[in-house]
Structure 1
Amino acid sequence: MKKLLFVINQFYKGGAETALLNLFHALSPQEYEVDFLLFDQIDQPNAVSLTPLLPSWVNVCNAAQAEGRFAIVKKVAFKVWQKLTRRQMYRAAAYRFVKGKHYDAAFSYGEWMSPEFVAKKVDAAQKYVWIHADVDKAPYVDPQILFGFDPYYQKYLFVSRQSMESAARRFPFLKGRTAVVHNMCADEGIREQAQEPLEQSWPTDRPVVLTVANFRPEKNHLRQVEAMKILRDRGVEFTWVNVGCSADFLVRQKLDQAIQKYGLETSFLRLPADPNPYKYMKRADLVAVLSDFEAWSLVITEAKLLGVPVLATRTSGAMEQIVNGETGVLCDFDAQAIADALEQLLKDEKMRSEIHRNLQGFSTRQTTLMELEQLLKGE
């Protein structure tokens, strides 16, 4: 039995977090013993925690849980310290959780956190940094932090080949020290959840475009509003439903202002984050994934599992996930290009039906498990 450690800062619903949850459910407790360390899992408004959905056999440590109201104060202090020093501070419970343990493999999960803890405080035969973004494009990635503990790590894991190759071009020292482990979906679970009833009314008088994305700058919901304004001026009527956490006040404020400016209050709808967005996907005419950058979109994979056509901007992940015109449609990043592609898909029912047919039988589970098993075997 292999003993694994996964370390993450928090575990709210998002693409990377959901993929990790799916992986935990796919791993066999007869083959793996898993420790899961969360640094800063603090209750947040509008955010959906995934911790209640973890398999019971996963050994979980929420390092902030015992600190009560002081946890948020420490979190702010830790961020200030990291910004000033590029070093990470950690909670005492995190040290206690790993002390005296030896792991076959330890994963620092996410480029948004420092890999220092796994590098210096964890005893493991193999150590990996698992990266979920295009490190050459994501503005929040600090290479000095992300690669600052390089001698401690054997490999860097990426969720798509394109993002891996672009990282290796920018950071040549990565050559020969990278691997791809794709994000995993819970294939049958998604199809089952998609059948659940909706708790609110669903537009039936016109087509529905769905976007599932937390309201963050890189998801660029503002560009969606601009594209919708272009289409309304052309006389193309539809409803755009957006499901996701809106904790970022500045993003929410700018979006509200744009919606009001263009008079789209009844057409551009926002719903809170939902642990089951698949019931919306199943009922949508198409799913739009319009990020500025994305190494591998779990939403694209989920929509493909449900046979729903996807329109996506040409991010590195989308270009690997979609065969343009066959399993979805790719477009450029400006509002005009998005509007043109949306109009084509909304009006061309034959194209949508053909994409749906091409997605029959699509699956993800075995690919990801095989990639991880090969990594752990050193292949």
Structure 2
Amino acid sequence: MKNVLIASFDMEVGGVERSLVSLLNNFDYKSHQVDLMLYSHTGDFMNLIPKYPNLLAELKPYKTFRMTIGQTIKSGKLLLGLARLRAKYEASKTTSGEAGYRQMQYMWKYSLPFLPKLEKKYDIAISYLWPHYFVAEKVQATKKIAWIHTDFSTVDTDRKLDIQIWEKFNHIIAVSEECRNAFIKKYPTLENNVLVMENITSPDLVRSLADEKVNNPMLQDSRFKLITVARLSHAKGIDNAVRALKLLKDKGYQDIVWYVVGYGGDEELIRTMICENDLTDSFILLGKKLNPYPYMKAADLYIQPSRYEGKAVTVTEAQILSKSVIITNYSTARSQVKNGIDGYITELSAKGIAVGIEKLYENFELRNKLANNCKNTDYSNSFELEKLYKTILENRRAYNDKCSSSSL
């Protein structure tokens, strides 16, 4: 049995967490003893963790990373609170990029002296969510692996700090080929360390969950229904979705309605935009849903209006449900769909999204072609895990060779 650690933050509803659930449900537990380290035992997906991995106890200092600075100090973690204040100050010196990425890096960097280590030593330690400081600095393992879920060429990070951490990993796993290419464009010295392993999908589970009975207003809506499942954030481009729908309404497409399943920090901004554009009855936020698939199933089109992605789990899940999908032309889009075959790639702008929706709305034959091609595609890919097992096996062979040499 090989000892494996998988570390992530929590199990709140999100694409990374959904892919982690699929990974855990398909893992080979006959050959691997798996410990799961979650910094916080919170989130609606906690109940979806299978029984086989051993869920380690929370380490309270790590749980503070999703608290405010004030809450951290009140909880008795004064030094961690001060480290957070320093991180906030350092991040404030830069104004480029989406807020928060550098602050997360600095938060980990300055908190490290006050964070506990894991005592157990592992054959393989997997850091499933950036920033990867915990596995890099606080875990003993013969081999370490870090996951990439996003397009790193588009986010503003402290590159020097990032490289210091990435270099502590034997392998870096990207969720698509284009995700890998974007990563090595930013970090060319790490090219030989980066492998590709797609997110594990479970088509039978997705289709089964799509048939669950939920309180779904889409079923009584006779309009042409669009659906997006995503965080309400700058990265996911929900603001551009609102603008795109406004453009369509202004062109006379009054029978189109856009539903969004998700939550996030941009909710107030999005609601304000909806009101300002007089879209209250046609751009509808459904909020957080543990099971988004019945809503996907009820839609006529799935739209991913993102500014950047690694490889969106929700797009593949929509394809599993035989939906026509439209995605924006973010840099990794070609790894997500075959344009004109099993999806449609449109310009990354509000206008581009509107043009794409209009095209598929008007062209039933194309819409039907995309859906049928998805229906006839096998999206099961648990075989992707063999790539991970191979790295573990190589690690064991190297260890055995080293022991054999030492005994001579």
Same fold (TM over 0.5): yes
Candidates 80, 85, 88, aligned match of 1:80: 85
Q: Amino acid of the residue matched to residue 245 of structure 1?
A: Y
Instruction: Report deviation, 1:277.
Output: 0.5
Q: What does residue 268 of structure 2 align with?
A: 253
Which of 364, 376, 386 is the matching residue for 1:370? 386
Can you give the 5+ residue segments of structure 1 that lack an aligned partner in the other structure?
Answer: 43-47
TM superposition shift of 1:116: 2.5
Contact persistence 2:127–2:145 (CA under 8 A): yes
Tell me how far apart the structure 1 counterparts of residues 113 and 363 of structure 2 sit (CA, whole Å). 55
Q: How far apart are residue 131 of structure 1 and its match?
A: 1.3
Distance of 1:194 and 1:71 partners within structure 2 = 31
Aligned to 1:323: 338
CA shift in 2, pair 1:271/1:368, >3 Å: same
Structure 2 partner of 1:152: 168
CA distance in 2, matches of 1:310, 1:287: 5
Moved more, 367-376 or 152-161: 367-376
Query: Which residue does 2:256 correspond to in 1?
Result: 238
Quick one: distance in 1 between partners of 2:378 and 2:165? 38
Q: TM-score under structure 2 normalisation? A: 0.83
Say whether the 8 Å CA contact 1:184–1:365 is kept in structure 2.
yes
* Equivalent of residue 122 in structure 2, options 103, 108, 111: 103
Matched, 1:181 2:186: no
Question: Is the partner of 1:219 in helix, strand or coil?
Answer: coil
Any idea what the Cα deviations from partners look like across 1:314-353, whole Å, max 9, x if unmatched?
1233211211111010011111111111011122221121
SS in 2 for 1:152: coil
Which amino acid in 1 is paired with 2:387? Answer: E
Within the alignment, does 1:32 sit opposite 2:24 as a pair?
Answer: no
d(CA) in 1 for partners of 2:25 and 2:382? 13
Deviation at 1:70, TM superposition (A): 11
Inter-partner Cα distance in structure 2 for 1:303 and 1:71: 30
Match of residue 226 from structure 2 = 209
**In terms of mean alpha carbon deviation, does 58-67 or 368-377 score higher?**
58-67
Q: Which residue of 1 aligns with 2:145?
A: 128
Name the structure 1 match of 2:318: 303
Q: Percent identity?
A: 26
* Residue aligning to 1:343: 358
- Counterparts of 1:128 and 1:198, CA distance in 2: 39
How far does residue 174 in structure 1 lie from its aligned partner after superposition? 0.7
Decide which structure has the larger Cα Rg and report it: 2
Q: Which residue among 37, 47, 54 is the counterpart of 2:49? A: 54
Q: Are the counterparts in 2 of residues 208 and 286 from structure 1 also a CA contact under 8 Å? A: yes
RMSD: 2.5
CA distance in 2 between counterparts of 1:62 and 1:143 reads 32
Letter in 2 for 1:136: S
Separation in 1, partners of 2:324, 2:354: 16
Letter in 1 for 2:370: I
Q: Helix, strand or coil for the counterpart of 1:271?
A: strand
Matching residue's letter, 2:274: I
Which of 185, 194, 209 matches 1:193?
A: 209
Residue 18 of structure 2: aligned partner? 18
Q: CA–CA distance in 2 between the matches of 1:118 and 1:68? A: 15
Q: Which amino acid aligns with 2:137?
A: K
Which of 255, 269, 282 is the equivalent residue of 2:297? 282
Contact 1:16 1:183 in 2 (8 A): no
Change (3 A) 1:371 1:227: same
Corresponding residue SS for 2:153? coil
Q: 1:204 to 1:253 in 2, by over 3 A?
A: closer
Which residue in 2 is equivalent to 1:137?
A: 154
**Corresponding residue of 1:45:** none
1:314 corresponding residue in structure 2: 329
Amino acid at match of 1:180: V
Name which of structure 1's ranges 342-351 and 221-230 shifts more when overlaid on structure 2: 342-351
Which has the larger helix fraction? 2
Amino acid at match of 2:125: A
1:110 CA drift (Å): 1.9
**Aligned pair in 2 of structure 1 residues 378, 347: CA closer, same or farther (>3 Å)?**
farther
User: What TM-score do the two structures reach when normalised by structure 1?
Assistant: 0.89
Tell me the number of residue pairs that the alignment of Structure 1 and Structure 2 aligns.
365
